[in-house]
Amino acid sequence: MDSGISREDVLDRISTRIIGREVLYLPSVTSTMDVARKAATGGAVEGTVVVADRQTKGRARLGRAWINPPGVLAMSLIVHPEMSKLLRLTMMASLATSRCIERVAGLETSIKWPNDVLIRGKKVSGILTQSALRRQSVRWAIIGIGINVNFDPSAYPEIADTATSLSNELGTTVSQLDVLVCLIEELDELYVGLQKGEALHDDWRNRLETIGKIVRVTSGKRVIDGCAESVDGDGALMVRQLDGSLVQITAGDVTLRT
């Protein structure tokens, strides 16, 4: 399936301030994260977007593979945030993705902590972040975003019960170019606001489907059971354990419990 994306088409349609200053489009890559990391270490301008029609070795959080057949939008973004803003990039990316899907497709979304975007409880987008530090500053950070736009998850048994796509939900194909342009615009608005000190927390928190639920969090070798009570300003999950203690979790895998 032809994505209908070209570098020229993207640049012609955006008038953003930071995100999308440069666009690198490639039909097929091992991973947009790999290309973005090489570009970042080579001094690529902040706001550079890497987009590909196909990834042969796409990666998700916690070392998992990301299934990337034609019809899945894969992009990575290079930014240079202040150290104090680094932990908020995941919050920013999932919020931008949620807003983008609602604008382009008119579909209601929710966010599963920390960064999976869901439609009717099924995953439609995943996010991965990486960064390189130098002493107390951020050399660069890369945000990878995958959105299931036009493909049928039922063709892939490993995700058939847990994933969806925009085309599946709408019953028609969706312009991947429209999705990409909208995503760049939403990311730009939120990133500029983040750099100015504007808060993302409230809008992001209101979209979280995890808050108020009984959860099990696997974080490294730790397993924490309790109620997902809140999130802090940097997006860490606050879980009230059965003994009444409150635990702050900055990374992990969450499953709902009965």
CATH number of the domain bearing residue 229: 2.30.30.100
Domain presence at residue 31: yes
Query: Is the same domain home to 252 and 234?
Result: yes
Whether pTM exceeds 0.85: yes
CATH label of the domain that carries residue 19:
3.30.930.10
Q: Which residues are CB-contacts of 204 (< 8 A; sequence separation ≥ 6)? A: 91, 94, 95, 111, 231, 235
In the chain, the largest separation of any two C-alpha atoms, in whole Å, equals 57
Of the candidates 239, 240, 236, which has an alpha carbon nearest to the alpha carbon of residue 251?
Answer: 236
Query: Is the same domain home to 184 and 223?
Result: no
Strands of the chain (E only): list them: 23-29, 49-55, 72-79, 110-112, 116-119, 122-134, 137-148, 214-219, 222-231, 237-241, 246-249, 253-256
Token look-up 């974080």 returns: 219
Per-residue pLDDT of the chain (258 residues; tens, 9 = 90+): 567 899 999 999 999 999 999 999 998 898 999 999 999 999 999 999 999 988 886 555 444 555 667 899 999 999 999 999 999 999 999 999 999 999 999 999 999 998 899 999 999 999 999 999 988 899 999 999 999 999 899 998 989 999 999 999 999 999 999 999 999 999 999 999 999 999 899 999 999 999 999 999 998 888 999 999 999 999 999 999 989 999 999 988 898 886
Query: Is the same domain home to 54 and 172?
Result: yes
The pLDDT of residue 67 is: 60
The pLDDT of residue 251 is: 86
Which residue type does 153 have?
P
Query: Is the same domain home to 57 and 137?
Result: yes
- Exposure string (b/e) for 190-220, b if CB count within 10 Å is 16 or more? bbeebeeeeebeeebbebbbbbebebebebe
Query: Is the same domain home to 134 and 101?
Result: yes
The pLDDT of residue 199 is: 87
Domain presence at residue 53: yes
Domain presence at residue 172: yes
Count of domains forming the chain: 2
Query: Is the same domain home to 98 and 55?
Result: yes
Token look-up 């012609």 returns: 12
Query: Is the same domain home to 175 and 238?
Result: no
Query: Is the same domain home to 73 and 49?
Result: yes
Which residue type does 8 have?
E
Query: Is the same domain home to 193 and 218?
Result: no
Q: Which domain holds residue 102?
A: 7-206
Domain presence at residue 2: no
Which of 206, 223, 242 is the last residue before a domain boundary?
206
Domain presence at residue 78: yes
Query: Is the same domain home to 138 and 231?
Result: no
Domain presence at residue 72: yes
Domain presence at residue 87: yes
114 upstream amide cis, omega within 30 of 0: yes
Query: Is the same domain home to 114 and 41?
Result: yes
Domain presence at residue 1: no
The SS3 assignment for 161 reads: coil
Query: Is the same domain home to 143 and 217?
Result: no
Parallel, antiparallel or unpaired: strands 116-119 and 122-134: antiparallel
The pLDDT of residue 204 is: 96
Of the candidates 72, 52, 92, which has an alpha carbon nearest to the alpha carbon of residue 146?
Answer: 72
